[in-house]
């Protein structure tokens, strides 16, 4: 999913306009209602600084940048059914696909981080922000289990658990083709290329990444894989499977298609199915499993029908 970026310079005749009026006046693509929502989400920046107040006045020469991520303008909020576990120390959530884990240029409001701040807000002290430890990140398109520490007593130990790989992370991935062999381990150094913003294996200078995979189900020209990552590098599964000539379905950035059996796909079909670790304060074994979301299940079901 690509961003649209509008860069607008404030000219003499528009000095002093409210920011929402300025955006609506300066762009044929934005209504005032849309402008208000984008500002509220955090997608508008003046001279490099995020501005979330519609009433802010623009000044002559200001550079106003508007980032639009093509996602719904209504912010994500944590629903009761999203919460797998919560105590005073940690919270485990079932993240929907197409929700960013952390703030981006296009939005602060509606990310997992901000939605969690909202969920944890103390009604008696609304100005006091909850302390959140972000020990794990999932790509925008990835659905499934994610855990946050939400108390100072949990932050350090939760970070150590992830840093020292004392956590078991299992994913389901729908990929093109069939890996050969059908199970194995991929080890490489991964680094991000500034040229195309893709992660790839390099001979030196990258970070070690270890991915284990096995075939769960072969679906003619596609495969459903169980993938366990022993490290947590950015785009690790996406890059490693693409390098096996088995890119994730829907992952256009790494060579996957965005249409299967006439069904459009808006994200890489990757689901964080299982997560297991020890509680950072209580030292109890914790294990969670969540089912595949509907969009991914529909594609799998469609491919199964072709197998019959």
pLDDT of residue 126: 65
- Active-site position among 62, 139, 251, 295: 139
Fold match, 4-68 / 80-307:
no
Query: Would you list the DSSP string of 95-129?
Result: EPTT--SS--SS-STTSHHHHHHHHT--TTSTTSP
- Whether residue 281 is predicted with pLDDT greater than 80 in this model: the reply is yes
pLDDT of residue 196: 82
Tens digits of per-residue pLDDT, 142-174?
A: 999 999 999 999 999 999 999 999 999 999 999
Residue-range domain boundaries for the chain: 4-68, 80-307
The CATH code that applies to domain 4-68 is 3.10.290.10
Closest CA to 121 of 131, 111, 112: 131
- Whether residue 1 is predicted with pLDDT greater than 60 in this model: the reply is no
Residue 124's pLDDT band (boundaries 50, 70, 90)? low
For residue 110, CA distances in Å to 26, 57, 244 come to: 26, 25, 35
pLDDT of residue 308: 66
Give the separation between CA 308 and CA 299, rounded to whole angstroms. Answer: 15
Residue 30's pLDDT band (boundaries 50, 70, 90)? confident
Tens digits of per-residue pLDDT, 180-195?
A: 999 999 999 999 988 8
Percent of the chain whose pLDDT exceeds 90: 84
Question: Based on the number of CB atoms within 10 Å of its own CB, is 207 exposed (0-12), middle (13-18) or buried (19 or more)?
Answer: middle
Domain 80-307: homologous superfamily in CATH: Pseudouridine synthase (3.30.2350.10)
**74 noted as active-site residue:** no
Kindly report which listed range (70-74, 186-190, 265-269) carries the lowest average pLDDT score: 70-74
Rg of the chain over Cα atoms, rounded to whole angstroms, equals 22
Residue 62's pLDDT band (boundaries 50, 70, 90)? very high
- C-beta separation of 192 from 199 below 8 A: yes
């Amino acid at each position: 999913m690509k961003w649209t970026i509008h860069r607008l310079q404030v000219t003499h005749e528009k000095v002093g306009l409210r920011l929402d009026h300025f955006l609506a006046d300066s762009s044929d693509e934005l209504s005032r209602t849309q402008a208000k929502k984008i500002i509220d989400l955090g997608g508008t920046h003046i001279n490099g600084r995020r501005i979330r107040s519609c009433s802010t006045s623009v000044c002559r020469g200001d550079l106003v940048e508007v980032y639009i991520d093509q996602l719904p303008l209504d912010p994500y909020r944590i629903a009761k059914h999203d919460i797998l576990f919560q105590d005073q120390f940690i919270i485990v959530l079932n993240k929907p696909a197409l929700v960013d884990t952390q703030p981006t240029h296009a939005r602060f409001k509606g990310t997992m981080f901000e939605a969690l701040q909202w969920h944890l807000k103390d009604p008696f002290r609304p100005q006091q922000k909850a302390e959140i430890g972000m020990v794990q990140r999932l790509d925008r398109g990835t659905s499934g289990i994610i855990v946050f520490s939400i108390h100072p007593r949990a932050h350090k130990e939760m970070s150590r658990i992830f840093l020292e790989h004392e956590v078991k992370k299992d994913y389901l991935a729908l990929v093109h083709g069939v890996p050969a062999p059908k199970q194995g381990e991929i080890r490489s150094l991964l680094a991000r290329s500034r040229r195309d913003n893709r992660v790839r294996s390099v001979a030196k200078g990258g970070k070690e990444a270890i991915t284990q995979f096995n075939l769960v189900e072969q679906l003619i020209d596609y495969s459903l894989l169980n993938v366990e990552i022993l490290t947590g590098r950015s785009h690790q599964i996406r890059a490693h499977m693409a390098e096996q000539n088995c890119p994730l379905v829907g992952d256009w950035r790494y060579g996957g298609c965005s249409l299967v059996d006439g069904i459009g796909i808006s994200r890489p079909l990757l689901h964080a199915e299982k997560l297991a670790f020890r509680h950072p304060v209580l030292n109890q074994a914790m294990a969670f499993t969540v089912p595949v979301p509907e969009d991914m299940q529909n594609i799998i079901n469609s491919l199964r029908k072709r197998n019959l």
